[in-house]
Amino acid sequence: MEMSHGSGQTLNDKNAMASRIARFFQPGDAVNLGIGAPLLVADYMDPDVLVHTENGCLGVGKNTSRTDPTVSPNMSLESFANAGGMPFFPIPGAMVFDHATSYAIIRGGKLKGTVLGAFEVSETGDLANWFMPGNFAGMGGAMDLCMSKMVIVQTTHCTKKGAPKLIHKCTLPLTCKGLLTHVVTERAVFEFIDHKLVLKEIREGYDLDNIKNNTEADFTVADDLKTDVVY
Amino acid sequence: MEMSHGSGQTLNDKNAMASRIARFFQPGDAVNLGIGAPLLVADYMDPDVLVHTENGCLGVGKNTSRTDPTVSPNMSLESFANAGGMPFFPIPGAMVFDHATSYAIIRGGKLKGTVLGAFEVSETGDLANWFMPGNFAGMGGAMDLCMSKMVIVQTTHCTKKGAPKLIHKCTLPLTCKGLLTHVVTERAVFEFIDHKLVLKEIREGYDLDNIKNNTEADFTVADDLKTDVVY
Amino acid sequence: MLKNKLASKDEIISKFFDGMTLMVGGFACTGVPRALVDLVLESGVKDIKLISNDAGDPDICQGRLYHAGVVAECWHSHVGLNPEFGELAKDGKFTLHITPQGTLVEKIRCGGIGAGGILLRTGMNTDTDMEKEREKITVNGEEWFIETPLHADVALVRARRADYFGNLTYRGNMANYNPIMAMAADCTIVEADHICDIEEIQMDTVKTPGIFVDMVYNTQKLYV
Amino acid sequence: MLKNKLASKDEIISKFFDGMTLMVGGFACTGVPRALVDLVLESGVKDIKLISNDAGDPDICQGRLYHAGVVAECWHSHVGLNPEFGELAKDGKFTLHITPQGTLVEKIRCGGIGAGGILLRTGMNTDTDMEKEREKITVNGEEWFIETPLHADVALVRARRADYFGNLTYRGNMANYNPIMAMAADCTIVEADHICDIEEIQMDTVKTPGIFVDMVYNTQKLYV
């Protein structure tokens, strides 16, 4: 589904979610972006938001590639690669550090937020995103990252088969229990308040009925619900 | 008491003990020397023994002073000062590190040995060296340093009043329980073997009767006891 | 653009408050943020909970806080440098938690990295107050102390070089507690011998990433 | 004179043995000591207990050890990079201890610093195998996992620069686990992109002090 964007561009759903999530962050905030679709958030954020990659850099800049002729042939690329293995240029003043320090930043509460994908989200703020039968990769840093101040899930509202991803209770092994703060889908923005799911925004092109019909999780509607939100 | 030294020099007791202790260490060993008399050990060791200071350097070289005209006036001296506050020159290739790393070296077992002073030593390898009524300074790093491979006490055999320092059981608060490996006094060298005190060497000028009469702690005499040892 | 964290004397003093837990980096007279200690004294705050390696030289380091009578509780590994300390302690002016040095630095690190404690055995079976104050646990057949975290409201850190964002390097053995304390406070304030632009400090040489730093004391004119 | 730790292929291979616990630094394909992994394969040792962030690329990194069938037990935070891993795991070729990444690195650090464990809450209340395998403890009213140490017989470490004594620097984010693993083994072996004389690496920039290093793989002609 492609929606009209404030700037006149149209954004596909992945980019649209990234665009909306980017607005949670202010210049100077430090943010970790999960592998895959969450990495797109970087394209929409204020350039002064600092991007953290758990394998040892805060201040991840533009992505590059191993065949970019403007960078040296291999070593510098091996020295700067994000958690998904994509080479990048560090920004001026970027910080690099070992893994113990990287997770000190995470657990120590220095990240304003983390953006993660999801298999399942529960109505009480649980997340399942690392283990699915036949798709076992390990939790990597996801369980640690859920200790950030804002833990934002970026996910399609439903699975490819049309089943809701926001459900009463996760059936898969959890990544965290009750630590989520926000869920952003291509249709709506939810916030967890006292471990209860609250609908805060509906994107333009969708209405409350659509959200209700496609969400198994119990949720309340915020008094200040915004509708027709342009991602 | 001044004794004749192998090289023809005479050494006072403090220097004599330092000279004997220095022979425990081989080139390449890393050794921490306690504040005070143990620092003299550095003057007698093979120059390739590495000296550790717990405030962040391995490779402590020659001492200097704040008035040495060959060094810069203040900052470089503040940057290189041992645990006793004495400025030093680092050796070529010296390592500097923060306190967490310094104690990782200590507890992690990377020191071959540590040399400590003593108020009291028990016959089972306990040490008391940090608290005396009217002389409360704190244990500093001494409790940690007792986790080195060799924990060597350098002490006068008796107190100034002539009372033995090697006793049945310490009366002062302990620095460690049963972790001592060696005791070197100006009269003798002892080793703890299975938490039992064993007399290994008697320095020239002393005899077994002198040691027995001035040691409260129970000890056995090594089968290979060396006598007339030149410190 | 990375945030410019250079702060004036008044901005720094505004972060201090009565009863605050304060970490002060340094070991004896090496690597102590002396000018920042001056600002604590100037602020007039009292009832400070002080965490530092030692009780400090009474003339030039954090020992001045004892002299001024503004310390209510303290964690140190060594107090022998400060001749006033013993007298004040006898008078019950403050509560002292004497802590082995390697244990003290790991307790601070736990406060920084979000750990609930660390298991160490320094001081085991010494039957000292240090031992009696601690809970023990047996793990895999061995006995350990549960060393609980220390975290501060404000940490005062001394660096050799700082860029305006707070990326730090140290020199020689003046690092000591500074990089660990920098991680373990709500507000970390840095005093640096040299203040410079970003990228003047090559990134691989930085020991404290600027994310841990909140303010850099602007003691020099910085030409940016 | 500091000890010259430059070691040949054969000297390094002599340190490997069947059943050894082996740490391999790196994250995905960044900062992995690939040439040292080659030597493990060449040595023919088997039943390795492997500790590394991930199961490794099967062609160029520690994933080759799985391909060769020489891993008996393993600790990783992520195994998705290695397409062979799932099949081998299903066949029961080895025992996997899947561990959150920040927890894995702290367990390794405990092994290096002589701690009995650290209290973390990563993964708390997830009711996963990760949680079930751990003991819990309540400290100051909060629940924590007791994360026990990991220590290795041999650690393979990749550095950007090494002097012949083993003082190390890293570049960018190739440091990752390498400085932590360097502390946590009986025998730490380094593969460096550049090998140099002592004092060529300015001391304040060293991230791994050479005291933690036992051997530096002599892959270059060193002119000293």
pLDDT, mean of residues C43-52: 98
Beta-bridge partner residues of C136 = C145
Q: What is the pLDDT of residue B3?
A: 47
Among C38, C111, C95, C96, CA closest to C68? C38
Flag whether pLDDT at A6 surpasses 60. Answer: no
Three-class SS state of D89: helix
- Cα dihedral A58, A64, A67, A72, rounded to 10, equals -50
Beta-carbon neighbour count of residue D35 at 10 Å?
A: 14
What is chain D's alpha carbon radius of gyration, rounded to the nearest angstrom?
18
CB environment C163-201: b (16+ within 10 A), e (fewer): bbbbbbbbbbbbbbbbbbbbbbbebbbbbbbebbebeeb
Over 50: is that where the pLDDT of C16 sits? yes
Question: Does D120 sit within 8 Å of C204, measured CB to CB?
Answer: no
Residue in A46, A97, A146 to test binding to C, most C beta-carbons within 10 Å: A97
Residue among C45, C11, C16 at smallest CA distance from C219: C11
Q: Quick check: D114 and D133 in contact, CB under 8 A?
A: no
Cβ–Cβ < 8 Å for B212, B164: no
Radius of gyration of the CA atoms of chain A, in A: 18
Angle subtended at Cα C157 by Cα C153 and Cα C159, rounded to the nearest 5 degrees:
160
Distance CA D11, CA D25 (A): 20
% of chain B at pLDDT higher than 90: 81
CB-based contact C118 D119, cutoff 8 Å: yes
Which residues, at least 6 apart from B146, have a Cβ–Cβ distance to it below 8 Å? Answer: B114, B116, B127, B175, B176, B179, B180
Task: Give the model's pLDDT for residue A102.
Answer: 98
Q: Helix (H) and strand (E) counts for chain A? A: 5, 17
pLDDT for B75 equals 53
User: Is residue B174 predicted with pLDDT exceeding 80?
Assistant: yes
What is the per-residue pLDDT for A72? 60
Pick the residue from chain C with its C-alpha nearest to A147: C114
Bridge partners, residue C176, by sequence: B98
What pLDDT is recorded for position D221? Answer: 65
| CA separation, residue B5 to residues B190, B204, B226, D88 (Å) | 20, 10, 16, 68
Q: Which residue of C has its CA nearest to D102?
A: C113
Interface touch A58/C211, C-beta < 8 Å = yes
Distance of alpha carbon A215 from alpha carbon A196, whole angstroms: 14
Cβ pair A96:C204 closer than 8 A: yes
d(CA B176, CA C218): 45
The Cα–Cα gap between D197 and D200 comes to 6
Check if the beta carbon of residue A70 is closer than 8 Å to that of residue A51: no
Inter-chain CB proximity D211 and B58 less than 8 Å: yes
CA distance B50 to chain C (A): 16
Burial D3-34 (b: 16+ CB within 10 A, else e): bebbbebeebeebbeeebbbbbbbbbbbbbbb
DSSP three-state, residue A72: coil
The pLDDT score that the predictor gives to residue A76 is 64
Interface partners of chain D (CB pairs < 8 Å, 3 or more) are: A, B, C
Residue whose entry in the numeric block shows the structure tokens 């007039």: C44
Phi (first) and psi of residue C223, to 5 degrees: -95, 105
CB contact under 8 Å between A55 and D176, yes or no, is yes
Closest chain D residue to C135, measured at CA:
D139
Token couple for A174? 């959890």
Question: Tokens standing for C23?
Answer: 């970490």
Mean pLDDT of B103-122: 97
**How many angstroms separate the CA of residue C199 from the nearest CA in chain A?**
5
Q: What is the pLDDT of residue A5?
A: 41
Hey, are the CB atoms on D53 and A99 less than 8 Å from each other? yes
Measured from the Cβ of residue D199, the count of other Cβ atoms closer than 10 Å reads 14
CB pairs under 8 A between A and C: 60
Percent helix, percent strand, percent coil in chain C, to nearest 5:
25, 30, 45
Q: Which residues contact C208 (CB under 8 A, 6 or more apart)?
A: C157, C159, C166, C167, C168, C178, C179, C182, C183
Q: Which range among A63-72, C81-90, D164-173 shows the weakest confidence by mean pLDDT?
A: A63-72
pLDDT band at B146 (very low <50, low <70, confident <90, very high): very high
Mean pLDDT throughout A67-86? Answer: 74
- Partners of B131 in beta bridges: B136
Q: Which helix (H) or strand (E) holds B177?
A: none
CB of D64 closer than 8 Å to CB of D81: no
What burial class does residue B223 get, using C-beta atoms within 10 Å of its C-beta: 0-12 exposed, 13-18 middle, 19+ buried?
A: exposed
Contact (Cβ atoms closer than 8 angstroms) between residue B147 and residue B106: yes
Angle between helix B99-107 and C101-113 (nearest 10) = 120
- Say how far apart CA D40 and CA D172 lie, in whole Å: 26
Tell me, yes or no, if D204 comes closer than 8 A to chain C by beta carbon.
yes
B204 belongs to the catalytic site: no
Arithmetic mean of pLDDT, B156-165:
96
pLDDT of residue D67: 94
pLDDT 10s digits, C95-105: 999 999 999 99
Which residues in chain D are contacts of A55 at CB distance < 8 A? 27-28, 30, 173, 176
Amino acid identity at A53: T
Tell whether the model's pLDDT for residue B136 goes beyond 90: no
Q: Count each helix (H run) and each strand (E run) in chain C, helices first.
A: 7, 12
The enclosing H or E element of D166 equals: none
Edge-to-edge strand list for the sheet holding B57-63: B88-96, B57-63, B50-53, B30-33, B113-116, B150-154, B182-184, B188-193, B196-203, B220-229
Residue B126: closest C-alpha in chain C: C126
pTM recorded for the entire structure = 0.96
| pLDDT attached to residue C222 | 58
Per-residue pLDDT of chain D (224 residues; tens, 9 = 90+): 899 999 999 999 999 999 999 999 999 999 999 999 999 999 999 999 999 999 999 999 999 999 999 999 999 999 988 889 988 888 888 999 999 999 999 999 999 999 999 999 999 999 999 999 999 999 989 999 999 999 999 999 999 999 999 999 999 999 999 999 999 999 999 999 999 999 999 999 999 999 999 999 998 765 54
The identity of residue C209, as a single letter, is P
Q: Which residues of C touch A103 (CB under 8 A)?
A: 113
In sign, the C-alpha dihedral spanning A73, A74, A77, A79 is: negative
| Statement: residue A129 has pLDDT above 80 | yes
User: Are B18 and B37 contacting, i.e. CB atoms less than 8 angstroms apart?
Assistant: yes
* C-alpha span between B181 and B197 (Å, rounded): 9
Rounded Cα gap, residues A156 and A183, in angstroms? 10
Q: How far is C28 from chain B (nearest CA, A)?
A: 7
Question: What tokens does C172 get?
Answer: 């020689």
Give the pLDDT of residue A70. 66
pLDDT of res. A1: 47
CA–CA gap between residue C191 and residue C25 (Å, rounded): 10
* Residue D107, min C-alpha distance to chain B (Å): 14
Alpha helix ranges (H) inside chain B: 13-22, 75-79, 99-107, 142-145, 208-213
CB-based burial of residue A65 (10 Å sphere; 0-12 exposed, 13-18 middle, 19+ buried)? exposed
By the CB < 8 Å criterion, does D62 face chain B? no
Measured between alpha carbons, how far is C32 from C82 in angstroms, rounded to an integer?
Answer: 15
Cα torsion angle, A149, A155, A157, A159, sign = negative
pLDDT in tens, B51-83: 999 999 999 998 887 677 666 655 566 889 999
Minimal CA separation from A95 to chain C, in Å? 6
Provide the token pair at B88: 């030093």
pLDDT value at B1 more than 50: no
Nearest to B189 by CA among B4, B5, B22: B22
The three-state secondary structure class of B16 is helix
pLDDT band at A133 (very low <50, low <70, confident <90, very high): confident
Phi, psi of B157 (to 5 degrees): -65, -35
* Vertex D211 angle, CA B35 and D186, to 5°: 120
* Nearest-angstrom CA–CA distance, A196 and C53: 45
The pLDDT of residue B193 is above 80: yes
Between chain B and chain D, the number of residue pairs with CB atoms below 8 A apart is: 60
Asked whether residue A10 carries a pLDDT value surpassing 70, the answer given is: no
**Once rounded to an integer, what is the mean pLDDT over residues B125-149?**
93
Is B181's pLDDT higher than 80? yes
**CB of C188 within 8 A of CB of C212?**
yes
Confidence of residue B10 (pLDDT cuts 50, 70, 90): low
Tell me whether residues B85 and C28 touch, CB distance under 8 A: yes
Residue position matching structure tokens 């040792």: D45
Q: Would the CB atoms of D177 and A175 count as touching at under 8 Å?
A: no
Catalytic residue among A54, A120, A123, A191: A54
